[in-house]
Structure 1
């Protein structure tokens, strides 16, 4: 009788006393008995006949390690994406973020929820949350804007260059690349930029230009650009021509021109030739309008 035949009869409790004695002396008897003893603690949902034991044993001996539940991974990824998606939704869509922006050669006036007024210069943008405006008057500015703030709680203008804080006043903020300037026309303005904090009253200006801080005075009652005139005081020519491009939607090219020279003066925002004359004549430069969208500036050939 083969080993498998003995095992089959043992499972069916059909062994004779002599066969039982022989079966108990087999090397795997203890293992088989342990399996049977532990199986008594479970209830089988289906009954397997002894004739199937050869198949069972072959499967048991050749079993492969249990695979991890990798099928869960796609669902975990989907769940994570949904969580992020809901976060974005409730951050941006469920909050009333208002954005007002102007294009090149454009200005616009807008009212805030507290009836404060903002006039945006060309190529500028403000954003704020109208849901929280009554408790926190705070907006973000990129570019240049003139503010007429209604009296009330603290009013913050946050820019990449620094923050301007007021209660109720009129002031202008210019926040361009490497150019941060605040002009106070009424009331008191607090300005914070990096390690510098200053308080301005009407007629005072604050400026950080190319990392250099200066303060000065102004006799203007409002920013000149609101009346179609761009005004500069000791500003490098590069910044002046940047503003010209912004106001007229043109490209300015240069030949033998020192753009680090400083300019003090005004140009109009509604006539390109007059504007170019205002800039070039006092700086001993010449200009050439090579196309409707392009201007060439000639410097001295010294």
Structure 2
């Protein structure tokens, strides 16, 4: 990895979905992003026998019994220290390889369909990611989500989705989760879902939703049969403009620095994901906010 990328933690922040548009372009242009994706996909195919920590410690103790230290011989002590370090390092590597998470990441304007080991499907929206343990999936159907995804879950053991703000638990159902920074919304389209946040919880069924507002879970209803973003559009009803712009950045490689006085304004309307100029016009012209699009990807407010 180049020193510039390492100093700025670009790789780590890319995996955590915390890069700006400019940093994403910089990372993509470096060529290291493609190499990292290749490594991640290759690691997912590895099959390694789980490391037995107890046996490893026993062998290490037995090995130490056979070492006869020689006074004032620094080379022997260095060899012993190096051997112990190697044993411990191998143990950690084996343990990580046996328990590592499978990570799937989407870029701006990219969507992916992921089939989980037991047949459940995840439709991952743009600029989002999921991580789960493929090797232990049948025992623990648990994954973490950043961004937005639609889930079609097969029946079986409890299916748990964790985000940075709340946790969703289901048995078999269809639902959509949207999480971005502190925003969190769940729509249930089939079955029953339990949503937990801190010490509170809400159970919702088909036609119901839960939103995290002011640190509290609030139930509501909806009439949609599925998430509209799967069809390339997003519909908003009195949604804070800042949240709408967050979605725009998910579907377009565009730089929008929304002025503070506009962030809390509410937008109602439908925005497409395949025409940036039209989407910006629908939002800002409708709200009578003067703006211009420069260089094809930078919004300037007048």
Deviations 1:72-113 (A, max 9, x none): 764565356435523432233234632211001111111111
Partners of 1:256 and 1:96 in 2: CA distance: 41
**Partner residue of 2:140?**
136
Partners of 1:236 and 1:167 in 2: CA distance: 33
Query: Against the structure 1 CA distance between its residues 214 and 80, is the aligned structure 2 distance closer, same or farther, given a 3 Å change threshold?
Result: farther
Q: Structure 1 residue aligned with 2:210, among 187, 206, 213?
A: 206
- 1:174 Cα offset (Å): 1.2
Q: Structure 2 residue aligned with 1:89, among 79, 93, 98?
A: 93
**Partner residue of 1:273?**
277
Gaps of 5+ in 2: 1-70
**Partner residue of 1:220?**
224
Deviates more, 1:144-153 or 1:277-286: 277-286
RMSD: 2.4
Partners of 1:244 and 1:112 in 2: CA distance: 28
**Partner residue of 2:151?**
147
Query: Against the structure 1 CA distance between its residues 233 and 82, is the aligned structure 2 distance closer, same or farther, given a 3 Å change threshold?
Result: farther
**Partner residue of 1:123?**
127
Partners of 1:282 and 1:156 in 2: CA distance: 40
Say if 1:149 and 1:167, in contact at 8 Å, map to a contact too: yes
**Partner residue of 2:105?**
101
Say if 1:115 and 1:150, in contact at 8 Å, map to a contact too: yes
**Partner residue of 2:238?**
234
Partners of 2:167 and 2:94 in 1: CA distance: 27
Are 1:252 and 2:259 an aligned pair?
no
Partners of 2:144 and 2:232 in 1: CA distance: 24
Say if 1:252 and 1:297, in contact at 8 Å, map to a contact too: no
Deviations 1:226-278 (A, max 9, x none): 11112333332112111111210110134685212122332110111221122
The structure with the larger Rg is: 1
Deviations 1:34-54 (A, max 9, x none): xxxxxxxxxxxxxxxxxxxxx
**Partner residue of 1:180?**
184
Q: How many residues align?
A: 233
Partners of 1:162 and 1:77 in 2: CA distance: 45
Report SS of the residue matched to 1:221: coil
Partners of 1:234 and 1:212 in 2: CA distance: 19
